[in-house]
Amino acid sequence: MPAVTRLPQIRAVLVYVLLSALWIWFSDHALHVLASGGGWDMAFLQSMKGWLFVLGTAVLLYALLGREMRHLQRANRMLRSGHEQALRMVVTAMDIRHQETSDHSGRVMRMATGLARVAGVHGEALRNLSLGALLHDIGKLALPDAILIKPGKLDDGEIAVMREHARLGGDLLQQVDFLRDACDIPYSHHERWDGGGYPKGLRGEEIPLAARIFSVVDIWDALICPRVYKPAWPEPEVLDYLRNAAGTQLDPQLVALFLEHYDEIKAQGRPEAA
């Protein structure tokens, strides 16, 4: 174990030993004074000294362990933040390479997180959803640019290759410990509520909730923003498409929730809302 990782344990042990030594010295001195003054039973005094030592040790250990746990939690947050910043750089580079609309991955991550919150997702599940949304198309790194940025319609063979990105993305995240629980969106965001999606043809609530939430936002973004193969749709047409896709392509309850909170969720997609 590197010396730097042992510093918290060493510090806690040293504090404990120092305070214990001080306790022994002062308590022995106090016992001697009390016993020599008469009126106190030495056995009783020794017993009280022992119980006070146990109580003091428990309080001390609680305080020391609490402080070290806070240090470790702070270090863990810094490490996690560093990981996420690195992932954001990779995703930004990927969006640029694939000629996605500016801030596409960040925007759909923020909006999917906003929809998830109003759907009642919180805690670690919300964190995993945010990471999965950010990395939803990570599997496209393994696909050729000739398919990814083709300006026209893909043929059947190219569509088959394109669809592989969902499986590739899920498999890639499974290999990273802190991303393993974030693979629902990369793997399942092209599943359909009616069972006609891919890669597994899941239906209804068989599709992970995170993927169902993200699909609503991803389709909205794909339609309302220009892509290499299509112009942007007018906003009213995009919202009509979502209404019509409810119950076939998309979870109807989540579409209704998205439309009910549309202005709020849309505002969260702006970069300044990050």
Which residues are catalytically annotated?
140
Nearest-CA neighbor of 181 among 109, 120, 132, 116? 132
Residue 203 has, within 13 A of its CA and on its CB side, a CA count of: 3
Nearest-CA neighbor of 222 among 237, 244, 206, 201? 237
- Taking the C-alpha atoms of residue 197 and residue 175, their distance in angstroms, rounded to an integer, is 25
Helix (H) or strand (E) holding 81: helix 42-97
Q: What is the number of other CB atoms lying within 10 angstroms of the CB of residue 55?
A: 10
DSSP code of residue 38: S
3-state secondary structure of 230: strand
Nearest-CA neighbor of 170 among 148, 160, 158, 185? 185
- Taking the C-alpha atoms of residue 149 and residue 187, their distance in angstroms, rounded to an integer, is 21
173, 183 contact by CB (below 8 A): yes
Angle at the Cα of 10 (from 8 to 11), degrees rounded to 5? 65
